[in-house]
Amino acid sequence: MRSLLLIGIGPGDPDALTLGAVRAMRRADVFFFLEKADAGRDALIDVRRRLLAAHAGDRPYRVVSGRTPARDRAAEDYADAVADWRDRRTRVIGDLIDRDLMPGETGGVLIWGDPGLYDGTLQSVQDLIAEGRGDLRVEVVPGIASPQALAARHRVPLNRVGESLTVTTGRLIGSADPDTVTNHLVMLDGRHAYRHLTGYDLDIHWGADLGTPDEVLIAGPLDAVADRIGATLDAKRAAKGWVMDSYLLRKRREGP
Ligand SMILES: C[S@@+](CC[C@H](N)C(=O)[O-])C[C@H]1O[C@@H](n2cnc3c(N)ncnc32)[C@H](O)[C@@H]1O
């Protein structure tokens, strides 16, 4: 039997690590690092290395790295491009597990935020088990997800009383009917999708690089702050090549 722990590490603040994550880190014999194809993102690998150094305990463990493929962002068919990228990433994870996780051992993957929210690793591992790795057991250790960090930093609840919360992506909100946007948490927006939603009495709570020394928070009427958010995103991308941002869009309503 081999075990694999998918450990949620929170969205950037080392203090957002749970006690469960620390305990799980101390169980693993080998950690798998899935490095992005774009070198700038290695900063996120450094965060993981620091967490391991601080919490994995004073004992021997191995670290093995695999380079995850880049997605074809120019592809005409988005769904096909994502499926192809996911498949290639699954192969990388499978090769690491087959080569470096020995019978009786426990492996660990440190997952940004929570493993259950916009992260494909769990599905990849389930696919690898279904393919015939019947000796592999996967365990998920939840982490604090970026929407929770956003709400906490802005000191707002994620939902208002009696309302639902929709968690969605920049791609989907960009093509949504603005009149249907009431209480939407947007992640994975590389295209300034919020700009399409000005003029509809929406408020925004926006956060970039939450929980890190580079954190920026902006809140207010979307029409008033959209340009400032855009300029901040452009400046961050120009400075380090990438940025992680999320935002809560709310239809303004009278009263509490
Ligand atoms: C691939 S998803 C991973 C989400 C992660 N599993 C979670 O639970 O938050 C990456 C997206 O999460 C959001 N995100 C992650 N960390 C963030 C942070 N520190 N600040 C702002 N947004 C963050 C961004 O929308 C980013 O595009």
How does pLDDT run across 11-68, given as a tens digit for each residue?
999 999 999 999 999 999 999 998 876 656 677 888 899 999 999 989 999 999 998 8
Taking the centre of ligand 1 as the mean of its atom positions, its distance from the CA of residue 1, in whole angstroms, is 33
Top-level class of domain 2-141: alpha beta
* Protein residue with its CA nearest to atom 5 in ligand 1: 113
- The Cα–Cα gap between 249 and 221 comes to 10
Taking the centre of ligand 1 as the mean of its atom positions, its distance from the CA of residue 109, in whole angstroms, is 17
- The Cα–Cα gap between 206 and 217 comes to 6
- Residue 157, classed as helix, strand or coil, is coil
The burial of 222, by beta-carbon neighbours within 10 Å (0-12 exposed, 13-18 middle, 19 or more buried), is given as buried
| Residue 35 near residue 5 (C-beta atoms within 8 A) | no
* Protein residue with its CA nearest to atom 2 in ligand 1: 118
* Protein residue with its CA nearest to atom 4 in ligand 1: 118
* Protein residue with its CA nearest to atom 16 in ligand 1: 11
Taking the centre of ligand 1 as the mean of its atom positions, its distance from the CA of residue 87, in whole angstroms, is 21
Q: Which residues line ligand 1 (CB under 6 A)?
A: 11-12, 112-114, 117-119, 145-146, 187-188, 207-211, 244-246
For the entire predicted model, the pTM comes to: 0.94
Q: What is the pLDDT of residue 181?
A: 93
Query: What residue spans define the domains of the chain?
Result: 2-141, 146-251
Taking the centre of ligand 1 as the mean of its atom positions, its distance from the CA of residue 11, in whole angstroms, is 6
Q: Report pLDDT digits (tens) over 139-154.
A: 999 999 999 999 999 9
- Residue 67, classed as helix, strand or coil, is strand
Atom of ligand 1 nearest to the CA of 207: 21
- The Cα–Cα gap between 189 and 172 comes to 9
Atom of ligand 1 nearest to the CA of 211: 19
Mean pLDDT of 193-197: 96
Q: What is the pLDDT of residue 256?
A: 56
Atom of ligand 1 nearest to the CA of 145: 8
- The Cα–Cα gap between 88 and 34 comes to 12
- Residue 168: pLDDT band by 50, 70, 90 thresholds? very high
Mean pLDDT of 95-106: 97
DSSP H or E run through 6: strand 2-8
* Protein residue with its CA nearest to atom 25 in ligand 1: 187
Taking the centre of ligand 1 as the mean of its atom positions, its distance from the CA of residue 66, in whole angstroms, is 21
Taking the centre of ligand 1 as the mean of its atom positions, its distance from the CA of residue 245, in whole angstroms, is 7
CA nearest to 90, candidates 32, 156, 11:
32
| Residue 190 near residue 243 (C-beta atoms within 8 A) | no
Q: What is the pLDDT of residue 37?
A: 66
Q: Which CATH architecture fits 146-251?
A: 2-Layer Sandwich (3.30)
- Residue 242: pLDDT band by 50, 70, 90 thresholds? confident
Atom of ligand 1 nearest to the CA of 186: 25
Q: Within 13 A of 198's CA, how many CA atoms are on the CB side?
A: 12
Task: List, in order, residues 6 or more apart from 180 with CB less than 8 Å away.
Answer: none
C-beta neighbour count of 59 within 10 angstroms: 7
